[in-house]
Structure 1
């Protein structure tokens, strides 16, 4: 057997594997003899069929199988011995027609893509920002208003007021469009909402489509983008019911509904608890946002030469029939960033002996399960069965859940390590400023 490498560029090569008869024939002969011993061919006693007949019947299929096995094992062994990092999978090249009955020697080519090295120096020359979202009074007041509205009593008054929901039949004056909708008066312009204030059941309200601003067909009327795409002209909405949510009072019953029995006992304690809860949630969001921005900074600062042409070809082959060349071209920049970060993260982890421990995976999974059950109000009851839930989750997806959790923890450690080495500016944000950043 002969294996050679022909580099086409700094990150792509062709691997040639040449096999002669001595490489595969002993294994083919051994397998055919084994077939002969176990064969049950009509006209012969079990295991007594002539070897020549067995060769005629199974010789070609056994040869193909053994050659493919030798190729796979030899290629994998060869690639593991290389110093570069293989990306994707080797792509077998078209060999033309193979005469399996007559040929004795075979040659196979495989295209590979790789990176020679992953280089990144973590020092103060790399600059990043650590974001922290601060919960202000505006957000507290908006949250309190939302909670009081959400947990208030629902009524069906006879006459509508500002902020009500109008349930009725929406119909175009010209055309066939007609649909029963629930209109949220808080999500349309004040001018248009005024048409729906002070009306009662069976009232018919007329309005122009031009008075409904962009996005309000979907947000206020609940239509899909397809339904709202071509709406124009005059519309009527025949009122069938009026829905109103009365604002809940800030009392013990309200406190208990939000945080559970006897968790807070005064309005001051309640507001403090709301602030702490919001800050905890936004601390998680700002941490995730900082990590994603840091990945971009480190990726841009690194020297990783990806074999783009090879990877695009491999993505097409690996997803045969599921994606087009246009899909690959469109999504490749995102894929390349993710791949580069994965290579960087592994390189930093290896050089600095950073790794996630099994115990950390277990504890992180317990934390995730607790949060999920806490949201449903079942946290305390599930603690006794925690080990079972954790075990079932980590074994899920054929063990992929475990590997994903392991990778996630290692990535966090790598990012924390990087933050200690580079130049970091801390920046406080309001929730509005944070939303603006996300929108960019």
Structure 2
């Protein structure tokens, strides 16, 4: 047997395997003899048919099976001995002339395409710099949150005439054209120029205005129109009022406190304000942690500078999902797949280099945390904890065990990122929620 590797580029190669008769024939003969002992052929007692007859009937299929078995084992062994990391699975190269003659040929040659990466190196030291963000919950954010809650849990009414802040329900139509849609107009989000037309009106009132009077952002924020609907709503428009909805802000009293945080959890406005701030801080701690980790991944990906065999991987994805995806599907989804694959390669290499390992106990604990978060607002705290082991077991066994593997990967990523943040040049930075939103938009 001869196995040779031909690298076409930094991340793609072909492997050729040549087999001669001595590589496969002894194994084929042994299987023929074993098969002859068990074969039931009409006209002969079981196991007594001539070996020549058994060979004529089954020899070709046994030959093909044995050669395929030898190829699979030899290819896997050879690849394990290499220093590079194989991506996907080797793809057999089909001969254009389909020239294999299984009956006559004694020597066979097969070729496979492979994609790989090598020399994954990430220096975890001061040469790698990143930022750890923490979001500050200031009084302004607390005030805004409380006002939103007061509005959300306020008392609804249907007044006779509209005021700023009301939601005006009605039919929006284009005077010229077929556009028509029933909408709920947020009067708090229209410009001063339009406010005069929509305030102080009642049910059945018809408001006339021009589309050019509406600012671009108002179409979606106030009128709730999609981009296509905005294109259709051109020229003169009419809005016929069907109903007016108004929400009076809730009072900061015990009933309101109980609705937000549960019975008897908060007893005063001061406690309520502190609880809102604590809840916001907890939420933004999670958000800033996720953002910091995603930014850190970008830094590590850039530093590793991996070059993926894109063409090979696209071909492999298409063949591995035979019939389930199209070339267009692969092209559209490939950037996301490549991003996930690149991070997975880097994370696994860091874990290997530093002895990072996800333990079963870590998987169980992370699953418990996930379940607690999902049921955080259900009020089932004690009952949940009593049945926690059952919840965890059911979840980790779900999806044919894939849930467990996903959680195992998540735990390893957590440990890898924690290790990275200990070793690199990490700058801590506190930012406001507005600054955080600006970072998210970049």
Normalised to the residue count of structure 1, the TM-score between the two structures is 0.90
Q: 1:324 aligns with which of 311, 323, 327?
A: 327
Q: Give aligned pairs, total.
A: 439
Task: Report the Cα offset of residue 188 of structure 1.
Answer: 2.6
1:384 alignment partner in structure 2 = 386
Q: 1:252-271, aligned counterparts within 5 Å?
A: 252-271=254-273
How far apart are the structure 1 equivalents of 2:40 and 2:242? 79
Kindly indicate whether the alpha-carbon contact (under 8 Å) linking 1:7 and 1:13 is maintained by their aligned counterparts in 2.
Answer: yes
Task: Report the Cα offset of residue 69 of structure 1.
Answer: 2.6
Higher mean displacement: 167-176 or 318-327: 318-327
Kindly indicate whether the alpha-carbon contact (under 8 Å) linking 1:166 and 1:182 is maintained by their aligned counterparts in 2.
Answer: yes
Deviations 1:102-149 (A, max 9, x none): 323211111112223111222212221111110111111110111011
How far apart are the structure 2 equivalents of 1:27 and 1:246? 86
Say if 2:244 is the partner of 1:242.
Answer: yes
Deviations 1:246-298 (A, max 9, x none): 21111111101111111110000000000000011101111111111111112
Say if 2:78 is the partner of 1:75.
Answer: no
Say if 2:21 is the partner of 1:21.
Answer: yes
1:295 alignment partner in structure 2 = 297
Higher mean displacement: 29-38 or 277-286: 29-38
Say if 2:110 is the partner of 1:108.
Answer: yes
Kindly indicate whether the alpha-carbon contact (under 8 Å) linking 1:119 and 1:304 is maintained by their aligned counterparts in 2.
Answer: no
**Structure 2 residue runs without a partner (length 5+):** none
How far apart are the structure 2 equivalents of 1:158 and 1:49? 100
1:163 alignment partner in structure 2 = 165
2:87 alignment partner in structure 1 = 87
How far apart are the structure 2 equivalents of 1:45 and 1:231? 87
Q: 1:107-146, aligned counterparts within 5 Å?
A: 107-146=109-148
Relative to structure 1, is the Cα distance of residues 208 and 56 closer, same or farther in structure 2, using a 3 angstrom cutoff? farther
SS at match of 2:132: strand
2:231 alignment partner in structure 1 = 229
How far apart are the structure 2 equivalents of 1:374 and 1:299? 35
Higher mean displacement: 401-410 or 39-48: 39-48
Normalised to the residue count of structure 2, the TM-score between the two structures is 0.90
How far apart are the structure 2 equivalents of 1:33 and 1:199? 97
Say if 2:174 is the partner of 1:172.
Answer: yes
SS at match of 2:5: strand
Relative to structure 1, is the Cα distance of residues 172 and 50 closer, same or farther in structure 2, using a 3 angstrom cutoff? farther
Task: Report the Cα offset of residue 423 of structure 1.
Answer: 1.4
2:348 alignment partner in structure 1 = 346
1:11 alignment partner in structure 2 = 11
Kindly indicate whether the alpha-carbon contact (under 8 Å) linking 2:314 and 2:330 is maintained by their aligned counterparts in 1.
Answer: no
1:218 alignment partner in structure 2 = 220
Higher mean displacement: 246-255 or 50-59: 50-59
How far apart are the structure 1 equivalents of 2:156 and 2:47? 83
1:272 alignment partner in structure 2 = 274
Kindly indicate whether the alpha-carbon contact (under 8 Å) linking 2:318 and 2:330 is maintained by their aligned counterparts in 1.
Answer: no
Deviations 1:40-73 (A, max 9, x none): 6677777776665655554444433332232222
Task: Report the Cα offset of residue 23 of structure 1.
Answer: 3.2
Relative to structure 1, is the Cα distance of residues 224 and 60 closer, same or farther in structure 2, using a 3 angstrom cutoff? farther
Relative to structure 1, is the Cα distance of residues 224 and 58 closer, same or farther in structure 2, using a 3 angstrom cutoff? farther
Q: 1:405 aligns with which of 382, 407, 412?
A: 407
Relative to structure 1, is the Cα distance of residues 267 and 413 closer, same or farther in structure 2, using a 3 angstrom cutoff? same
Task: Report the Cα offset of residue 424 of structure 1.
Answer: 1.8
Relative to structure 1, is the Cα distance of residues 18 and 154 closer, same or farther in structure 2, using a 3 angstrom cutoff? same
Relative to structure 1, is the Cα distance of residues 219 and 34 closer, same or farther in structure 2, using a 3 angstrom cutoff? farther
1:417 alignment partner in structure 2 = 419
How far apart are the structure 2 equivalents of 1:183 and 1:70? 71
Kindly indicate whether the alpha-carbon contact (under 8 Å) linking 2:317 and 2:330 is maintained by their aligned counterparts in 1.
Answer: no
How far apart are the structure 2 equivalents of 1:326 and 1:354? 35
1:206 alignment partner in structure 2 = 208
Higher mean displacement: 102-111 or 39-48: 39-48
How far apart are the structure 1 equivalents of 2:234 and 2:202? 26
Kindly indicate whether the alpha-carbon contact (under 8 Å) linking 2:3 and 2:17 is maintained by their aligned counterparts in 1.
Answer: yes
Relative to structure 1, is the Cα distance of residues 256 and 66 closer, same or farther in structure 2, using a 3 angstrom cutoff? same
Q: 1:434 aligns with which of 425, 433, 436?
A: 436
Task: Report the Cα offset of residue 303 of structure 1.
Answer: 5.0
**Structure 1 residue runs without a partner (length 5+):** none
Task: Report the Cα offset of residue 324 of structure 1.
Answer: 3.2
How far apart are the structure 2 equivalents of 1:320 and 1:225? 36
Higher mean displacement: 23-32 or 383-392: 23-32
Relative to structure 1, is the Cα distance of residues 212 and 253 closer, same or farther in structure 2, using a 3 angstrom cutoff? same
